[in-house]
Structure 1
Amino acid sequence: MIAALYQHFLDHPEVCTDTRRIAKGSVFFALKGPNFDANAFAAEALYKGAALAVVDDPSVVKDDRYFLVEDVLKALQDLARHHRDQLKIPVIGLTGSNGKTTTKELINVVLSTRYLTVATHGNLNNHIGVPLTILSIKPEHEMAIVEMGANHVGEIALLSSIAKPSHGLITNIGKAHLEGFGGIEGVIRGKSELYQHLIQCNGVVWINSHSHELSNMAKRFEAPLMYPDNGDYYHCELVGVEPFLKVKNEEGDLIQTQLTGKYNFDNIASAMAIGKYFEVTPAAMATAIANYSPQNMRSQIIERGSNTIILDAYNANPDSMAAALENLSLQNAQRKVVVLGDMMELGEDCDKEHRNLGHILNDMKPDTVFLCGEFVRITHEEVADSFYFNDRKGLMEHLQTHPIKDSLILIKASRSIGLEQVVDHL
């Protein structure tokens, strides 16, 4: 069945899962979700120009433009596995608790100076996004960078079985998705599934020697490529943090980046260690790193009137929240303001971690603290003089009537809180 489906894919090498974005001549996969069944939209996909509709509901099949399978999601994943088996290029698998997408983008800009690369689009890093990334690899591509996300044990193993990375990196291990993983030990087990795959296939692994957990994992490998400390496979240094990071590379050259936050140093070092392995010149790496500008609410710097905003509202967990606040404390600004929202998926640690956030804020002493969401009510109890709002609407109304001026403002929360909408009210 997969061989026949693969022939259709070779004839029409573009895959689509959304009838709102049908490309002419594409193969449409009728996936199911909690609140939808795309089998019902297969005819619409064909009407809009799809060449084939892969479905698992026999009742919707009308002609030979429908390809009936037992399970559409499994067919998508199996098709990606089959396509991966035909590819003879390096595939770099990337996971971690924080910094995955930024690191992936940095690796891509570095490697693309020498190779024709393909990388995960945005953060499409789950059981659907990874197959779509693999299926986007064309014959002309020379290298792929595949981001893999997870919120429970076993998911990285599944994604590794699809992407079959030949090379791999874990950015870090932290307190992310604790609810799904069942605690930090579950996070370690889950993320290490990438390295288990690489051990089995005799792959290449880069390991950040700054991380105790990752350094322990290095003992499983015969020759892990360590970075960024002196004496490691690749060495670089952080020499400045305000307002953007300044890095000294292995050759001693200074690179002025457009990235803020010490936490981004490890992401930069990862990209340069991988660039060295694939023989990208130091000059090309330096230019690529210097020219990279973060987008999509990941440590994004926005100038708004007399204020400078650090928009870091794509996601948040206890480790990334603490790192963002540490970065703010290192900046030289007349006034420092924080606008923080809930950290999601913390399970039984939720109250403890939001209370601890209050302790961090008390130690840091920003000029003004705004808190928005359900769980940060506990943070508000810890931080005297903080402003609390249970939703964005109340927060935005307050900001309109009490405008902030001449301030450095950090905005950070889990994605579902939607704090990026606050920017237009500053």
Structure 2
Amino acid sequence: MNIKQLYQHFKECNGISTDTRNIENNSLFFALKGNNFNGNHFARQALEAGAKYCVVDEEKYALDSRYLVVENVLKSLQNLATFHRNELAIPIIALTGSNGKTTTKELTNAVLSTKFKTTATLGNLNNHIGVPLTLLQMTDATEIGIVEMGANHPVEITFLCTIAHPDYGLITNFGKAHLEGFGSIEGVIKAKSELYDYLKANHKTIFVNENDPLQIKQTLNYDKVFKFGLRTSTDTMLEMVNTQPYVTLSYNGSEIKSKLTGSYNFNNIAVAIAVGSYFKVESDDIKNAIEAYTPTNNRSQILKKGSNTIIMDAYNANPTSMMAALENFEQLVQAKKVVFLGDMFELGATAEIEHQAIVDYLEQNKLGKTYLIGKNFYKTTVKHPSLQKFESFDALKSHLQNHEIKDAFLLIKGSRGMALERILELL
């Protein structure tokens, strides 16, 4: 079946489904394969659950005309997404970066949706499957699409660009994330800059933070750049007003008071303002959108639990984001501070060095009682008694049962696999 025929079937359906546990009625089901599953096995079940058609790549599962046989289901999903994107012919904004992608995407969507009908990546569905699914959620009513792109190996961003064909793009930052796949910070810069390379080659527009020397360096000698930052020479000028406990900034003569903590979130907010400015969103609408945005899902949230106040930033972590969180926490004026840090994953051969660097910083800056959780932190050398190591979450749990924490200001930070939100149940 060719892509035009598949597209006609797609237009008959209400959307895309890839999981029989969440089948939408009258949807187009894609029988994707993984290391431990074969979606073709569930094609019949998908139809029984309400799907209109099933896309399969093994003919033995095609029992009637409702089964659409293709050479490769995943490739067909990706090709269909590109075909649909080109048929819509709307502006697509792509964003990537080591930290802050999802928060920046949500802030940008909040700003643009005050003026346009937008469709943005749900959650962090930002890989070779998530990007096509985002594009296929867009409808004839969509005026601007916002696509988050993630990567942990070289050439992934290039590939995602060939699917989404973005017209605009931005990189939140270059940090020490996924070093296992990228090899080094230089590898990170090169891989993330694949977005710049695509946009430049196709004469598209880049949004650049003029206060980030790496971004400036990577976009030299390119004229289709919209700059933002603290300098008067930028296209959108911003000013940092305060970061305690929330980020407040000045834009176009007005103060914007966000619900985001941490100076590192200034840049995330700045992106959303810059994009809104470029697309001629009214200043008051930008202000209202930023101020109304409330972080969720363990991303820079400030929570209350009993007598304790908590900065919950445990959605993910890498050396750059963890250091930024610690530096911000150090600046906060609080009588009693407690830090919970979980292992940082996907660091490869650098894991030992990077975890020890965090410990060395903590011993020099004394942020208060600090709990280090996980096998990587357990291997570090700790000298100061304020730092305590636990090889597992269960070991931490046993300790806290006999050591209650009260009237404290807490920072909780770690990689997703550590699931440190469980600490809330222990307080």
TM-score (norm 1): 0.98
Equivalent positions of 1:258-297 (< 5 A) are 258-297=259-298
For the 8 Å contact 2:342–2:374, the answer to whether it is kept is yes
For the 8 Å contact 2:343–2:376, the answer to whether it is kept is yes
Residue 92 of structure 2 is matched in structure 1 by 91
Verify: 1:169 aligned to 2:161, yes or no: no
For the 8 Å contact 1:130–1:146, the answer to whether it is kept is yes
Residue 413 of structure 1 is matched in structure 2 by 414
Alignment gaps of 5+ in structure 2: none
- CA separation in 2, counterparts of 1:59 and 1:223? 51
**Aligned partner of residue 262 in structure 2, secondary structure:** coil
Residue 237 of structure 1 is matched in structure 2 by 239
Q: Which digits, 9 at most, give the CA deviation of each residue in 1:308-327, with x for residues without a partner? A: 11111111011100000011
- CA separation in 1, counterparts of 2:191 and 2:404? 44
Residue 253 of structure 2 is matched in structure 1 by 252
Change (3 A) 1:2 1:380: same
Report the CA distance between 1:401 and its aligned residue. Answer: 2.3
Amino acid at match of 2:216: S
**Aligned partner of residue 206 in structure 1, secondary structure:** strand
Report the CA distance between 1:330 and its aligned residue. Answer: 1.3
For the 8 Å contact 2:14–2:25, the answer to whether it is kept is no
| Aligned CA-pair RMSD | 1.1
Change (3 A) 1:138 1:50: same
For the 8 Å contact 2:204–2:224, the answer to whether it is kept is no
Verify: 1:365 aligned to 2:356, yes or no: no
**Aligned partner of residue 36 in structure 1, secondary structure:** coil
- CA separation in 2, counterparts of 1:378 and 1:49? 51
Amino acid at match of 1:246: T
Identical positions, percent: 48
Report the CA distance between 1:9 and its aligned residue. Answer: 0.4
- CA separation in 2, counterparts of 1:114 and 1:400? 51
For the 8 Å contact 2:161–2:195, the answer to whether it is kept is yes
Residue 106 of structure 2 is matched in structure 1 by 105
Report the CA distance between 1:380 and its aligned residue. Answer: 5.4
- CA separation in 2, counterparts of 1:352 and 1:160? 34
Report the CA distance between 1:425 and its aligned residue. Answer: 1.0
For the 8 Å contact 1:359–1:382, the answer to whether it is kept is no
Report the CA distance between 1:13 and its aligned residue. Answer: 3.8
Q: Which digits, 9 at most, give the CA deviation of each residue in 1:208-248, with x for residues without a partner? A: 11222111012141131111122111110111011111111
**Aligned partner of residue 375 in structure 1, secondary structure:** helix
Amino acid at match of 2:374: G
- CA separation in 2, counterparts of 1:382 and 1:296? 34
- Give the paired residue count: 425
- CA separation in 2, counterparts of 1:344 and 1:154? 21
- Choose 27-36 or 124-133, whichever is displaced more: 27-36
- CA separation in 1, counterparts of 2:396 and 2:347? 24
Q: Which digits, 9 at most, give the CA deviation of each residue in 1:115-159, with x for residues without a partner? A: 010100000000000000000000001111100000010000010
- Choose 134-143 or 377-386, whichever is displaced more: 377-386
- CA separation in 1, counterparts of 2:25 and 2:3? 22
**Aligned partner of residue 357 in structure 2, secondary structure:** helix
Report the CA distance between 1:383 and its aligned residue. Answer: 4.5
Q: Which digits, 9 at most, give the CA deviation of each residue in 1:235-283, with x for residues without a partner? A: 101110111111111x221111100000000001111010000000111
- CA separation in 2, counterparts of 1:399 and 1:118? 44
Report the CA distance between 1:384 and its aligned residue. Answer: 3.5
- CA separation in 2, counterparts of 1:58 and 1:40? 12
Q: Which digits, 9 at most, give the CA deviation of each residue in 1:30-79, with x for residues without a partner? A: 11111111111111111000001111122211111111111111010010
Equivalent positions of 1:122-137 (< 5 A) are 122-137=123-138
**Aligned partner of residue 53 in structure 1, secondary structure:** strand
Q: Which portions of structure 1, spanning 4 or more consecutive aligned residues, are displaced by more than 3 angstroms?
A: 382-385
Alignment gaps of 5+ in structure 1: none
Equivalent positions of 1:34-49 (< 5 A) are 34-49=35-50
Equivalent positions of 1:2-401 (< 5 A) are 2-230=3-231, 231-249=233-251, 251-379=252-380, 381-401=382-402
Amino acid at match of 1:258: K
- Choose 216-225 or 17-26, whichever is displaced more: 216-225
- CA separation in 2, counterparts of 1:196 and 1:60? 42
- CA separation in 2, counterparts of 1:121 and 1:223? 28
**Aligned partner of residue 92 in structure 1, secondary structure:** strand
- CA separation in 2, counterparts of 1:226 and 1:52? 46
- CA separation in 2, counterparts of 1:190 and 1:354? 23
- Choose 149-158 or 186-195, whichever is displaced more: 186-195
Q: Which digits, 9 at most, give the CA deviation of each residue in 1:339-380, with x for residues without a partner? A: 001111111111111010011111221221111111011345
Report the CA distance between 1:113 and its aligned residue. Answer: 0.5
- CA separation in 2, counterparts of 1:115 and 1:223? 23
TM-score (norm 2): 0.98
- Choose 383-392 or 80-89, whichever is displaced more: 383-392
For the 8 Å contact 1:91–1:166, the answer to whether it is kept is yes
Report the CA distance between 1:328 and its aligned residue. Answer: 0.7
Change (3 A) 1:398 1:155: same
- CA separation in 1, counterparts of 2:108 and 2:422? 30
Amino acid at match of 1:169: L
- CA separation in 2, counterparts of 1:253 and 1:364? 35
**Aligned partner of residue 236 in structure 1, secondary structure:** strand
For the 8 Å contact 1:361–1:383, the answer to whether it is kept is no
Report the CA distance between 1:381 and its aligned residue. Answer: 2.7
